[in-house]
Amino acid sequence: MAYSHLGNYPEAIKQFYGAREIYKEEKMVTEVGQCDLNIAESNFAAGNTIEAIAAGKKAVDVAWFTYGDDMHARSHLVLVKSYLAIGELEAATPHLVDAQALVNFTDKKDWELVVEVEQLRADHMKAGGLEADTVEIERRLATIREILG
């Protein structure tokens, strides 16, 4: 984790793959999925969108069964970002819908994650030519950001 926080994404990816293999040998499914998510996020941050998509899909598959809203939402979120980065709006849409549902319909909200998902929704709408429709979303986001500081 430290390598990704420091921006050393190639080393972070290498370490996450190593951890993934250890967890896989021990049949620790949730931990393997978490490694896939970290691999996806690190690849996205490094600009490797295709690799991010591949790892993100695996993370979504695992998250589907682990019922961890945060992991599930973050897995969809990295796919949204990656698909938007390569201009695949249609591929991003179902992942955006899922991420939005996962972060908004839970009693224990991660407000930073909510803001990130809603900002991506606004970005997605703008990219799809619906810029006028984003005004209300961005107004609400400004309120939440002001509260969060």
**CATH number, domain with residue 47:** 1.25.40.10
What are the C-alpha distances in Å from 89 to residues 79, 92, 102, 120, 128? 11, 5, 20, 11, 7
In Å, how far are 18, 85, 100 from 82, measured between CA atoms?
23, 5, 16
Q: What pLDDT score was predicted for residue 68?
A: 64
- Per-residue pLDDT 10s for the chain (149 aa) are 667 777 789 899 999 999 999 999 999 999 999 999 999 999 999 999 999 999 999 999 998 887 666 788 889 889 999 998 998 888 988 888 888 888 777 777 778 888 888 888 898 888 888 888 888 888 888 988 889 88
Cβ-contact 37, 56 below 8 angstroms: yes
Domain tally, the chain? 1
Range of the domain at 20: 2-148
> Which tokens belong to 73?
């939402």
Model-level pTM? 0.82
